[in-house]
Amino acid sequence: MEKMIQDLCLLLMFLTGWEEDSRKKPGEKIFRAWKGYLFEVLNRLADDKFIVQFANTKSVTLTEAGKQKAQQLKDQFFSEKGASHGKW
């Protein structure tokens, strides 16, 4: 169950996140999302290298691996094939 919660939180961060210019590297885009999830889940996502957390901020940055995993989850849960197999 913990893995599913982690996956769903990553998916929600992806679906509600936004892309913005990096402050550290001009011209580079980063994908951010709000931290409004359980700290334990955020810590596991950071340990798995799907997100990067910074102290004293209200948002996280999704890594390329995090965006790829979230896209896979989105395809899995929102495709017609996924919907027809009782995922929802």
Q: Name residue 71's amino acid.
A: Q
* Residue 67, both tokens: 């965006």
Statement: 2-84 belongs to CATH 1.10.10: yes
77 vs 8 pLDDT, higher one: 8
* Residue appearing with tokens 């896209």: 71
Let me know how long the chain is: 88
Where in the chain are the domains? 2-84
The string of pLDDT tens digits covering residues 39-61 is: 999 999 999 999 999 888 999 99
Mean pLDDT of 6-23: 95
- What's the rounded mean pLDDT across residues 15-27? 91
What does the pLDDT read at residue 88?
Answer: 46
